[in-house]
Amino acid sequence: MTSPFLSIVVPMREGFSDHWFKEILKIEGAVEFILIHPPGVRPDPCEDPRMRQLVSPFRGEIIQRLTGMLNANGTYLLSFNCDEYINPGVPALARRYFEQFPDSWVMRLAKSEYAYGDQSALDAPWEALPVDIKAIPVCRQADDNLSLYEEGHMMEIPVVPLHHKFDWGCIWRGRTDHQGPHTENFDKKVWINAMVQEALQEVLQGFALAGPIKYLPFWCLDRLLGLALQAKFYDPARPEQLIGHKLPHPAQLRVEDNPPEYRRRGRFYVFAEIILLRRFPQYGYIRNLVVHQIREFPVRSYLSIKRKLTERQPSKSTAKQPVSSESGT
């Protein structure tokens, strides 16, 4: 069996939209869909031979997405969520991109975000995708003018500046070296799968604590894997190496906000990013990131506790009303 060109990995949740499922099957080309359901789910059968549905042994964004990625057979890999839609022509666009930019590691999709339930916007016809990608004007790192991207330029993506030294100032004012055209996160981008698989092994080794004891964070694989991949293949002799491009609008990906029952809460990213520090302690950029997250931990803890207390208190509109002592006649 011929390997697919693109693996599309999606961690699922209960109650996802049938409409979304039908839309993903409209994606064209030599792709494989890998949907990873939480434990206890019995996926409905699908007649499309490109579809593979797995059930994760544990619940959580990291374990579900990891399960899908480790089973990916494509030359390239793209991961997004089950409330996001992509242009059906993205696989063909990715093929053209990597043929025209063979040294790239990644092609980043442009996205548009919509409120939950804005179905008319999510279902609007997609605009045509570019054929000659090299004809698109480029917002270059040397231009030092990121506003050119908003004017329709394709933006160069340099590798994360891992060579930056540890900044003691981030202890009291937070880090600043995350700003710029580089990208930390993994999702919503097409990556070379062979590189992804090597980076995943670094992440998996970072889970091991002692002997058979392993630590598995619940979420935050997005930045963990994006930085692990770049750290794995970072060349200190090329600290400003270009690794890809961010495509200009019109968007190739549409993001629907989470439904009310799945609103994103405050997350403690440091529990995942400690793994980066364990695997790549030589990079000041990663130490700056971890110290910044530790610095924010008390604030996030306070907000988390405050939110939980607020949720337990009945609102004024639902509070029990006093019963009148008067009776009708």
Amino acid at residue number 117: G
Reduce the secondary structure of the chain to three states and give it as a string.
CCCCCEEEEEECCCCCCHHHHHHHCCCCCCEEEEEEECCCCCCCCCCCCCEEEEECCCCCHHHHHHHHHHCCCCCEEEECCCCEEECCCHHHHHHHHHHHCCCCCEEECCEEEECCCCHHHHCCCCCCCCCCHHHCCEECHHHCCCHHHHCCCEEEEECCCCCCCCCCCHHHHCCCCCCCCCCCCCCCEEEEHHHHHHHHHHHHHHHEEECCEECCCCCCHHHHHHHHHHHHCCCCCCCCCEEEEECCCCCCEEEECCCHHHCCCCCCCHHHHHHHHHHCCCCHHHHHHHHHHHHHHHHHHHHHHHHHHHHHCCCCCCCCCCCCCCCCC
Identify the CA nearest to 254 among candidates 6, 20, 12: 20
**pLDDT given at position 265:** 58
pTM for the model: 0.88
Q: Do the domain assignments include residue 193?
A: yes
In a domain, 320, yes or no: no
Summarize pLDDT for 10-21 with one digit per residue, the tens: 999 887 888 999
Mean pLDDT throughout 291-300? 78
Q: Is residue 269 part of a domain?
A: yes
Cα gap 124→188, rounded to integer Å = 20
Q: What is the pLDDT of residue 237?
A: 96
Phi, psi of 158 (to 5 degrees): -85, 160
77 φ/ψ angles, rounded to the nearest 5 degrees: -140, 140
Partnered with residue 291 across adjacent β-strands are none
User: Looking up tokens 């980043």, which residue turns up?
Assistant: 108
- Nearest alpha carbon to residue 126 among 92, 96, 100, 81: 92
Matching residue, tokens 């060579």: 163
* Model pLDDT for residues 159-182, shown as the tens digit of each residue: 999 999 999 999 888 899 999 999
Q: Does residue 321 sit within a domain?
A: no
Q: Please check whether residue 252 is in contact with residue 209, taking contact to mean a CB–CB distance below 8 angstroms.
A: no
Integer CA distances (angstroms), 47 to 22, 26, 51, 93, in order: 12, 13, 8, 25
Give the tens place of pLDDT for each residue, 221-269: 899 999 999 999 999 999 999 999 999 999 999 999 877 766 655 555 7
Q: Write the pLDDT tens digit of every residue in 64-92.
A: 999 999 999 999 999 999 989 999 999 99
Q: Would strands 242-246 and 154-158 be described as parallel, antiparallel, or unpaired?
A: antiparallel
- What is the pLDDT of the chain when averaged over all its residues? 88
Which tokens sit at 324? 């009148």
> Can you tell me the distance from the alpha carbon of 139 to that of 151, in angstroms, rounded to the nearest whole number?
9
Number of domains the chain is built from: 1
Q: What is the pLDDT of residues 263-278, one digit of tens each?
A: 655 555 777 888 999 9
Q: Is residue 73 part of a domain?
A: yes
Question: Residue range 123-140: average pLDDT?
Answer: 95
Inside any domain, residue 317? no
Tell me whether residue 316 is in a domain: no
- pLDDT score of 293 more than 90: no
Q: Which two tokens stand for residue 121?
A: 């916007």
Structural domain of 230: 6-311
Are the beta carbons of 116 and 260 closer than 8 angstroms? Answer: yes
CATH number for position 19: 3.90.550
Q: Give 56's strand partners.
A: none
The verdict on residue 1 lying in a domain is no
Is cis: bond before 250, omega within 30 of 0? yes
Statement: residue 138 has pLDDT above 90: yes
pLDDT class for 305, splitting at 50, 70, 90?
Answer: low
pLDDT for 327 equals 39
Would you give the distance in Å from CA 100 to the centre of its chain? Answer: 25
pLDDT over 60 (residue 303): no
Higher pLDDT, 296 or 283: 283
